[in-house]
Amino acid sequence: MAQAQAQAQAGDTAVAQAAAPAELRPYEASYELVTHGLHAGVSSFTLTRDGTDTWTLVSRNRPQGLFRLFSDASLTLTSHMRVGPDGIQPLQFTAAPPDGGTPNVDLHFDWDASRVTGVQDGTPVDAPLKPGEQDDLSVQVALMRALVAGHAPSGISMFDKNGTRDYAYTRVGEETLQTPVGAVPTVVYESHKANSPRRTRFWCAPGYNFVPMRAEQKRESQVEWTMNLLSVELR
């Protein structure tokens, strides 16, 4: 009897573990940014868990050469978001100078009121918010979380002050990349907005919780920019 109960309990535990949803993991990664064939600098991404259901993704850019002349190239992007049963819900998105000056973009997402308010490039923003809509940074976490959970997205919407941008996502293959951390198997996804000549591909690594190992944007057949992994660490 006791043995049967123990086996039943072990079976229940195994079923519960199998049913438990996969989770995001904090990470830090850096990439070499190449724009139109020129080394443009280094971009880093740091995802941290702030609380039970709140996370923050920060992107810092260190432009090099002529790209230092472009003020937007050095902006630090920050997305505070809630992760829960309703998916990824951005709470605040900012784009600010690295010295901590006044943000160029400061958007607040009110999911109870379904509104986005704030300022973007000097223009006041007060716009409706669609369910599932992402900011320019939380969209990366939305893709990763969907892949971690085994539910590849068919589309993700992004907020824009001029109107929602809807992107279709398609799995286009698998590829093992040679990276500074070794040979890394990846699955390749492509995003595309209707009527746009641009397509963006992401090489996401299952062994690294689907953190992108590489990203590339093309305008028709011309590569506009590429991000190649320099380092990655799961925490």
Residue whose structure tokens are 């002529």: 66
Q: Do 229 and 215 touch, CB atoms closer than 8 A?
A: no
pLDDT value at residue 2: 39
Please give the pLDDT value at position 23: 86
* DSSP letter, residue 13: H
Of residues 94, 34, 93, 28, the one with CA closest to residue 65: 34
Whole-number pLDDT of residue 221? 93
CATH among 2.60.120, 3.30.750, 2.50.20, 3.40.50 for 25-234: 2.50.20
pLDDT mean by block of 10 residues, the chain; 235 residues: 40 34 87 93 97 95 75 87 94 91 94 96 94 96 95 92 92 98 98 96 97 97 96 97
Report pLDDT for 195.
93
Q: Within 10 Å of residue 187's Cβ, how many Cβ atoms?
A: 17
C-alpha span between 162 and 121 (Å, rounded): 12
Q: Give the CA distances from residue 37 to residues 106, 173, 179, 222, 226, in Å, rounded to whole numbers and listed in that order.
A: 32, 24, 19, 10, 9
User: What pLDDT, on a 0 to 100 scale, did the predictor assign at position 66?
Assistant: 67
Domain boundaries, given as residue ranges, for the chain: 25-234
End-to-end alpha carbon distance in the chain: 43
pLDDT for the residue numbered 233: 98
- Hey, is 142 helix, strand or coil? helix
Q: Of 75, 80, 82, give the one whose Cα is nearest residue 108.
A: 80
